Amino acid sequence: MTSMDIHQILEHLPHRYPFLLVDRVLEVVPGERIKALKNVTFNEPFFPGHYPHHPVMPGVLIIEALAQAAAILSFRTMGNKPDGKSVYYFVGIDGARFRRPVTPGDQLILEVSIVTTKRGIWKYAAQAKVDGQIAAEAELMCTLQNSK
């Protein structure tokens, strides 16, 4: 089990501001699971336009944060990093459920576990929690492809 700071995260994800949605990896067990966090602040670029009278983090961005954590887990499992010649794509989302709003000041804990890997498709069980309560959950499917 190891943790990762923002510099290590940037080595494992191609995303950058404003789309980098993982601030720290609390623990990662290659081949098994990852626990990461996203600090949600009022300064996020989506809050001024997403229910400005009651700022709520968009559900699709919570799912994206889980997918970014899943990508880090996959790269750590494979023992490599993105090389600029490949892209880690979403290929499916099943059973997505949103249980509570995520608002400025929340610390979103991202928990992702590998369910299976078959024919280049990685399947994960994913949950995003705030204060121990599930905010969102889904089964995610991703694949690593060579870019053209």
The ranges assigned to domains in the chain are 2-146
82-93, pLDDT tens digit by residue? 887 888 899 999
What class, spelled out in words, does domain 2-146 have in CATH?
alpha beta
pTM of the model: 0.95
Pairwise CA distance, residues 136 & 133, whole Å: 9
Residue 1 has pLDDT above 80, yes or no: no
For 95-141, what is each residue's pLDDT tens digit?
Answer: 999 999 999 999 999 999 999 999 999 999 999 999 999 999 999 99
pLDDT, tens digit, for every residue of 45-89?
998 887 878 999 999 999 999 999 999 999 999 998 888 788 889
In the chain, where does DSSP find H-type helix? 6-12, 59-78
Q: Which residues are catalytic?
A: 50
Identify the pLDDT of residue 23.
98
